[in-house]
Structure 1
């Protein structure tokens, strides 16, 4: 084989590995950009676009750090949900659950590939002796071994990407369902000022057996939150506290016979609420 052929062989392998590194980087960008999103419904599109723009400008080293940290068993998983919510708040997070050994090995493998990628792009030429067949052979073997390592991580990232896409499809299907609509309505109802007040009242004026009179609760709400009470039908679609309490699914209701033969309606928080 002529010396030029040895050189061309190395250059083909260099080009192949550069393309493989780019493929690896694109997969990392997709996972990092789409693996976590949180915000109010009205700002989700803007947040997503800003997140994608930011990720597209990041280096491979930064991408690897963010990707690996998302599988860190010791990372903080605290919720970013705001204290006050006055519209639909969406939060999606995709994590790779693993043990400490896997996390460390994956961190080391990807960090090594970042070093090798930088070396390939910026430092290969000084050690590439195009006049030496032996140097060309050595570099070709090194590039083949590097190719195998990149492909291994690409296959892993492809599987991770598929899981992420499948998860988003499941979530999208759920949000388009009647079940999701009912769940959202119930969630808003449970966080409404009226329901929160009813919960407080139930614990403050309850009898020894835990039950509280709905009529007494109504009187207190009319006194301390007249506007909320007046807008109950408009905001929630229920014309009485009894119907509102039943719809919230966090209270038990009980009709009790009075000593004079009448009835009174009582309620209390369900166990665990």
Structure 2
């Protein structure tokens, strides 16, 4: 057995070496499996960036360190954990205005200046359910690819490789759709952050912060 052949199929028993036809379709399956795994890793990197930016709270002089520590926690999460984090906080089903009001929040130490920021995206309940179902399907597919792909498909036959090929094509389309969706969320969040940062530079914001007068003229 050549070194190249051994590297491609390390689990192959010597008495079951593939024919050239099988080896050809195997290589295509390997290529597509590698492509979808790379795409899934890109998805994980982006969802970690979104999850790390959803909320921050604490004394203003500690915010940089708080954000760093949150990033470390998020970086160690599995894809399933990240999806739970996003669907349990950032994504929310739309509610009536009265029910959607933000709960009262008090800083942990009133002798220090605290800041709290959180971002969320509200969806119609049907859209929220559809998105959550799609994200759970993505997690299940990722786990299937990592842990059970060789159990599910007989890669030592042409028919098995063809079935795997079709599965990977369908899976890639799903990952691409989820990635485009996530990228839209990330761009929307970044735009909202830029808009908020620009508002915080205006006299209206400073009057709201220090004088208690809102841009519409109401006073706290």
Distance 2:67 2:106 in 1: 17
Query: Is 1:91 the equivalent of 2:110?
Result: no
Q: Which has the higher contact order (CA 8 A, sep 6+)?
A: 2
Q: Give the whole-Å Cα distance in 2 for the aligned partners of 1:87 and 1:123.
A: 53
Structure 1 counterpart SS, 2:106: coil
For the pair 1:116 / 2:141, whether they are aligned, the reply is yes
Write the distance in 2 (CA, Å) between the matches of 1:154 and 1:38. Answer: 28
Task: Tell me the TM-score normalized by structure 2.
Answer: 0.79
Q: Residues 1-273 of structure 1 correspond to what in structure 2 (within 5 A)?
A: 2-70=21-89, 71-73=91-93, 77-82=102-107, 85-187=110-212
SS in 2 for 1:11: helix
Consecutive unaligned residues in structure 1, runs of 5 or more = 188-248, 251-270
Rounded to whole Å, the distance in 2 between the matches of 1:32 and 1:99 is: 21
Post-superposition offset of 1:39: 1.9
Question: Equivalents in 1 of 2:110, 2:198: separation in Å?
Answer: 24
d(CA) in 1 for partners of 2:137, 2:194: 33
Across the aligned residues of Structure 1 and Structure 2, the Cα RMSD in angstroms comes to: 2.5
Partner deviation per Cα, 1:10-62 (whole Å, 9 max, x = no partner): 00110011011111111211111001112221111111011111000111001
In 1, Cα distance between the equivalents of 2:27 and 2:174? 22
**CA gap 1:14/1:44 in 2 versus in 1, 3 angstroms:** same
Cα gap change, 1:86/1:181 in structure 2, threshold over 3 Å: closer, same or farther? farther
